[in-house]
Amino acid sequence: MKNIIEVKNLKKEYRNFKAVKGVNFSVKEGEIFGFLGPNGAGKSTTINMLSTIKNPTSGTAYLNGYDVVKDRKKVRESIGIIFQENTLDGKLTAYENLLIHSKLYGVEKSIREERISEVLKMVELEDKRDNIVSTFSGGMKRRLEIARGLLHHPKVLFLDEPTVGLDPQTREHIWEYILKLKEEAGITIFLTTHYMDEAEFCDRIAIMDHGELIALDTPDSLKNAVGGDIMNISTSNNKKAINLLKSKYGKEPKENENIISFNVEKGNEFLIDFIKDFEVPITSVNLRRPTLNDVFLGLTGREIRDEAV
């Protein structure tokens, strides 16, 4: 499987501020590539450079074999972008929105009608083609934006927080369409999200913080690197409990909102003796497998939900 995106030592600086500090990564053709990080980490700046919206200060980036600086037109023909904010014209019909976009992206007149019908069918909006967009629900608008981004058959589709603000059921439906795109169209999807359950759909995830790429791997590998299970406890005296966990059990506990968290190997076996022998009264206990939020917390010192949009 070849790389559709190649990034080498890519940097973006604004006067004395380094927004992106020399990142290196590649994206494979046909994969769902997730981009995670707190607000201000450099995610949007990196995507803006890849999509030719901003020029890098230094470094190189190739998308579909084209240089993002020297071959801007070819790069733009190779990508679709679904922004976080709705960019549809609410006064026009679904069909009219798609027709205007097809003209802007140079879709040949002879195949415009076929393409419009094709993408509307893909997102199950054929029967809404002549309806005014302002009457659409949030989920329908998101589906139409995805359809619009696919009109010119892009090689890479950038999705910036594709389901933010949508209810859980609509989020689930949007992801059904995204996964179907990957399987049926073989399209590469470059995604930003702060929903950890959505990040689980990614083939690989890159985590950025302070303009640097601090981790890149599959969701399972990232979670396995946390080490063991996660035990959360609250006690009658958290300060004493933390000192005891360090001195007697060799743990490195973290406290957040009066909950103490630490890693344990074979949590089910550890739990029984721990509750029986722990010298500080435990008021609550929870044992679970690591999540991507734990990965994020371990790498950045804060939880992804604290950075939610």
The predicted structure's pLDDT at residue 170: 77
Distance between CA atoms of residues 239 and 237, nearest Å = 6
- Rounded to an integer, the average pLDDT of 224-236 is 89
- Rounded to an integer, the average pLDDT of 11-33 is 94
Strand partners, 209: 212
* Tens digits of residue pLDDT in 88-144: 999 999 999 999 999 988 889 999 999 999 889 888 899 999 999 999 998 899 889
Element (H, E) at 164: none
179, 170, 107, 184: which is closest to 141 by C-alpha? Answer: 170
147, 189, 145: which is closest to 33 by C-alpha? Answer: 189
> Which residue shows structure tokens 């690197």?
225
pLDDT at 306 over 50: no
Q: pTM of the prediction?
A: 0.81
204, 158, 197, 165: which is closest to 181 by C-alpha? Answer: 158
Q: DSSP string spanning 48-107?
A: HHHTTSS--SEEEEEETTEETTTTHHHHHHHEEEE-SS--S-TTSBHHHHHHHHHHHTT-
Residue 186 has a CB neighbour count (10 Å cut-off) of 10
Q: How far is CA 198 from CA 46, 191, 203, 205, 293, in A?
A: 21, 10, 11, 11, 12
Number of H helices, E strands in the chain: 11, 14
Distance between CA atoms of residues 230 and 252, nearest Å = 12
The predicted structure's pLDDT at residue 304: 62
* Tens digits of residue pLDDT in 160-176: 888 777 778 877 877 88
The predicted structure's pLDDT at residue 85: 79
Domains and CATH numbers, the chain: 3-219 (3.40.50.300), 227-289 (3.30.70)
pLDDT at 197 over 70: yes
